[in-house]
Amino acid sequence: MFCKSFQSRSSKAIVALIASLVTLQAGATDNLLQPRHISIEASLPVAQAQQQVLAAERYYSFWNTGEAHYAEAALAPDFIDTNLPAGRPQGPRGPILASKGFRAAVPDLKLEVEEMIVAGDKVVGRLHFTGHFSGSFGDRQGDGRTIDFMAVDIYTVRNGRIAENWHMEDNLSLMQQLGIVAR
């Protein structure tokens, strides 16, 4: 569950303990999506790490389930998508609309968080999305084909909520899997 990044040999036990406590305390109340591996900067105060992990796990749970209450709990009211896709509104409403639209195409969308790194005021997630194109995307009707692509998100967390997000999805693979771009 814990990757040994950001640590010296003398701090292995401390960092492992912090990671375990943060994950247990952050996920204790919400049954949130947990990352496969987590690395936490050893010098980060435990309370700050807890807030950052909780915000990220809530947002991951939103993308895994499509349940807007997770996004509303994770995102700051003045949330900024630093590389906002065309046509998507800025603020918390943007990801909620994006999720609804994507779930119309891939109703069984699932997310696995392969790795989460917490350092400074940032949380970095290496994300793996899967599902089946069984709905509709624009004028295209799905035929059940598999959807499988990776993404990276970098969150800036302030006051326990995600204030900014920079993200990069493997959109070429996704568009090929949806049949919009030839392989």
The residue-averaged pLDDT of 22-34 equals 63
Sheet bearing 75-81, strands edge to edge: 38-40, 110-119, 122-133, 145-158, 161-169, 75-81
Report whether pLDDT(10) > 50: no
Report whether pLDDT(118) > 60: yes
Domains of the chain and any CATH numbers = 9-177 (3.10.450.50)
Largest CA distance in the chain: 58
Q: Which of 143, 62, 137 is nearest to 105 (CA)?
A: 137
Contact by Cβ (8 Å): 122, 49:
no
- Whole-model pTM? 0.85
Report whether pLDDT(17) > 80: no
Residue-wise pLDDT for 141-178, tens only, equals: 999 999 999 999 999 999 999 999 999 999 999 999 99
Residue-wise pLDDT for 61-106, tens only, equals: 999 999 999 999 999 999 999 999 889 999 999 999 999 999 999 9
Computed over every residue of the chain, the mean pLDDT equals 88
